[in-house]
Amino acid sequence: MTRIEAVFAALKKQNRAALIPFIMGYDPDRETTLAVLDALATTGADLIEIGIPFSDPMADGPVIQAAGQRALLAGAKVAKIFELVREFRKKHAEVPIILMGYFNPIYHYGNERFCKDAAAAGVDGLILVDLPPEEEQELTPFMEAVGLKLIRLVAPTSLEGRLKLLAESASGFIYYVSVTGITGAKSAVAVDLEKQIAGVRAHTKLPIAVGFGIKTAAQVKAMAAFSDAVVVGSALVDKMAQAQGKDAKVAAAKAFIAELATGLSRS
C-alpha cells in the first residue's frame, strides 16, 4: 500500500476528510520552508503539496505567483525542491508529499531523471497543470516505473467524455478544481459542488480532493461533508507572506492549519 493509499484508508475508517495544505518550495527560503513543512505535518496536515516554482504559472493567482517569484529569487531549482523532500523525510516517513507545478521545469530537468530523483527523494505523486492525457506518455512511463502517482485535475467545465478520460488516467486521487479560473481568485461554494463531486464519483473509485477557492474553516467543514480531502493553498501562502520572519511564518501556518483541521470530521 502506498503512502497515499494508506492515509485515505485510515481516514475513511475515522470518517474524516484529509487536509492537504499547499506551500511553495523555497518561499521565502529553504530554512523557512523546512520549518513550515515540519509544522504542517505535526499540526494537522494529512498530505502536503509543495509547489515547484515556475516563471509562467498559468493556473495561479497573484498570491501563488508572488510566492513563486520569491522562491525563484531565493534560488529555488528542481534539485533543491528534492533536497527539501529528502530533509522532510528524515522526520516524517508516512506523510505523502505531492509536487504541484508545470511540465516545463520537468522537461528541462529531464523526464526520466526527474521521476527517478523525485521517487528517491520521497515524493509520492505529481499534479501537473499543463500535462493533458493526450501528452502524458511524455512522462507517465517513467512515473510508473518508480511508483509515482499522477493526480489529475478535473474542472467544473469538464464534459462527460473528458471527465471519463481524466478519471481513467488518474492515480493516487483526483483533484477537483472547485471554481473556474485561477487559484485564490474566487471562493468555493459547497452547495454547487456536492452534485459535481457525485458526478465525478460515477467515473472513479479514487478519493476526490477539492481545491481552489477554499479559504476558511467553515468552507473546509462544508467541503469535508462530501469530499475525501480539502486542499488549501492561497489562503495559507498569504497568511505566511503577511507574517514577518521565519518564526512568525511558522506560527501563522500552525495556527491556520490547526483551525482548518477542526472541520474535517463528518461525525
Q: Catalytic: 117?
A: no
Label each residue of the chain as H, E or C. CCHHHHHHHHHHHHCECEEEEEEECCCCCHHHHHHHHHHHHHHCCCCEEEECCCCCCCCCCHHHHHHHHHHHHCCCCHHHHHHHHHHHHCCCCCCCEEEEECHHHHHHHCHHHHHHHHHHHCCCEEEECCCCHHHHHHCHHHHHHHCCEECEEECCCCCHHHHHHHHHHCCCCEEEECCCCCCCCCCCCHHHHHHHHHHHHCCCCCCEEEECCCCCHHHHHHHHCCCCEEEECHHHHHHHHHCCCHHHHHHHHHHHHHHHHCCCECC
Q: What are the angstrom distances between the C-alpha of 47 and each of 25, 54, 112?
A: 15, 22, 25
Active site residue 60: yes
Exactly one of 49, 124, 228, 238 is catalytic; name it. Answer: 49
Residues ≥6 apart with Cβ < 8 Å to 244: none
Q: Which of 46, 60, 124, 238 is catalytic?
A: 60
Catalytic residues: 49, 60
